[in-house]
Amino acid sequence: MDSRLRKWTILGSLVMILLVSALVMWNNMDRGGRPQRGPSQDSGEQASQEGPPLADSGEKGDLDGAAPDDGEGGSREGASPGQIGSSLSAFLEDETFFDPEINPILEAARDQSNRLSLMVTSVEKDLRIQIVDNEGKPVTGESFYVSLKDMGEYKDLDRDGIIYIGDLDSGEYYVELLPIAGYKVPANETRVHVKDKVEYVAIDDISLLIKTEEEIDAEAEDTAVAEAAADADRSEIKSFQATSGNSHLGIDVSKWNKEIDWDRVKGAGIEFAIIRAGYRGSVTGSLVEDPFFEANMKGAASSGIPTGIYFFTQAVNEVEAVEEASAVLELIRSYNVSYPIFIDTEGAGGNGRADGLDPETRTLVCEAFCRTIENAGYNAGVYASRNWYNNNLHTDRLEDYCIWLAEYRSAPLYQGHYQMWQYTSKGAVDGIEGNVDMNISYF
């Protein structure tokens, strides 16, 4: 049994014992709140002086006026009427009490803790099968097998509780989790429909795929490279830019900016913030929440600074782009987001899993992300440097979304249309330690 579940089960048992003990004590109290006593052998006092008579009054006592048998034909000397056993803590001396093989309560709890379920989803001609426990969390460390009816068996090779099967024809499938020692598997097959095309809607159970940095090698996975820095020139503006009309001065932040004093940021004149929700790992492709995301969202909100979101992509196809958008939508569920939600298409140093994508595939990834975000009711956008837009994307297909340009010059050379400009990565803002990315929005 899981140690945490065992502790809660034991605690629950102790609570029940205490309740029984309290009932026994209550039953042994008279109306004045004093403990009942039998006839005193030393004082000569009558039982009626301390409480109502049990045998002569004609009324039933706690146990119909009968004293418990001591097992040898007589009553237990000194035991109060209604008391069960001679010790309320005797269970602590029972070596079998906490043995789930003997105690039916603990056995039932263990049975529940080992019961498995399947969560199966399809985005496009694929199946993601997640093996979860009774709390809905993936079960890791086991070599699970599933069977697709008439197709064969599939193994959880990396033992992460997730089995992915691609290149399937659309239609109905039946998935069975095969028996494994120590667990109770579902008795029936799980029926699922494999979709023919991406529908650009959020994946309901995406939360099961979102990891924290404690679960991954963050140094290897979080490797985004600021492409705009290589293209910067000496005209880069590092100070606050003057704004007018519909333009606004803002920042974008992530874990690299560490802890932020958002009240001071507000006081410095910052009008909006684009906050990183997370990233997809450059090596394994894991979806990871930025460790400072929650603190930044709450801090900005409490200081009255409007926020947008960005997510660093390493998606290699539309399916993964929908996953990334779904992860963002899950993470922002509790927050008010008034600025767009951006997909950050920077490279990952040349060795990232998505660094070698051709412009067509990369554009499809951006479109899939943005369509999923907009189908959820938010404004979507794309972040990239001037060179990245020119060489790695078909920008004419992205014009319906908010274009966030990164170009560190006094005046951008980029010829396309853009609604937000990241003009430096070396700004300084009161309340933030070190360099800060500075932006101007034109909406």
- What single string gives the DSSP state of each residue in 257-307? G-S--HHHHHHTT--EEEEEEEEE-TTT--EEE-TTHHHHHHHHHHTT--E
Q: Helix axis angle, 318-331 relative to 359-375, nearest 10°?
A: 40
Query: How large a percentage of the chain has pLDDT more than 90?
Result: 68
Catalogue all structural domains in the chain, each as residue range(s) with its CATH number: 1-19+90-113 (no CATH), 116-194 (2.60.40.10), 208-441 (3.20.20.80)
Q: Measuring CA to CA, how many Å separate 351 from each of 10, 81, 284, 314?
A: 51, 80, 12, 11
Q: Assess contact for 95 and 40: CB atoms under 8 A.
A: no
Give kind and range of the element (H or E) at residue 393.
none
- Residue 429 burial class via C-beta count within 10 angstroms: exposed 0-12, middle 13-18, buried 19 and up: buried
Residue that wins the pLDDT comparison between 328 and 53: 328
Is residue 88 over pLDDT 70? Answer: no
214 vs 38, higher pLDDT: 214
Specify burial of residue 271 (Cβ count, 10 A radius: 0-12, 13-18, 19+). Answer: middle
Which one is predicted more confidently, 371 or 65? 371
Per the document, the length of the chain is 443
Q: Please state at what angle helix 3-27 crosses helix 104-113, rounded to 10 degrees.
A: 150
- How far apart, in whole angstroms, are the C-alpha atoms of residue 203 and residue 121? 8
Strands 171-177 and 190-194: antiparallel
How sure is the predictor about 48, in pLDDT bands with cuts at 50, 70 and 90?
very low
Q: Residue 69's pLDDT is what?
A: 46
39 pLDDT higher than 70: no
**Whole-number CA gyration radius for the chain:** 33
Give the pair of three-digit tokens for residue 383: 């972040």
Specify whether the backbone of 345 is left (phi greater than 0), alpha (psi in -120 to 50) or beta: alpha
pLDDT of the residue at 135? 85
Q: Which residues are paired to 405 by β-bridges?
A: 384, 421
Span of 54-68, 194-208, 351-365, 387-401 with lowest mean pLDDT: 54-68
Residue 347 has pLDDT above 90, yes or no: yes
3-state secondary structure of 193: strand
Specify the 3-state DSSP secondary structure of 428. Answer: coil
Which ranges of 28-132 would DSSP assign to H, the alpha helix?
47-50, 104-113
What pLDDT band is residue 55 in, cutting at 50, 70 and 90?
Answer: very low
Q: What is the number of other CB atoms lying within 10 angstroms of the CB of residue 350?
A: 9
Question: How far apart, in whole angstroms, are the C-alpha atoms of residue 114 and residue 133?
Answer: 7
Report pLDDT for 86.
57
CB atoms within 10 A of CB 240: 15
Q: Give Cα 240 to chain centroid, integer Å.
A: 37
Tokens 């009255």 belong to which residue? Answer: 304
Helix or strand (DSSP H, E) at 175: strand 171-177
Tell whether pTM > 0.85.
Answer: no
Count of beta carbons in the 10 Å neighbourhood of residue 341? 26
Q: What integer pLDDT is reported at residue 65 of this predicted model?
A: 39
Query: What pLDDT does 52 receive?
Result: 42
The answer to whether residue 5 scores a pLDDT higher than 70 is no
Q: pLDDT digit string (tens) for 215-234?
A: 999 999 999 998 899 889 99
pLDDT at 263: 98
> 442 and 419 in contact (C-beta within 8 Å)?
yes
Residue 71 has pLDDT above 60, yes or no: no
Element (H, E) at 434: none
Mean pLDDT of 28-53: 43
Nearest alpha-carbon partner for 290 in 255, 246, 332, 253: 255
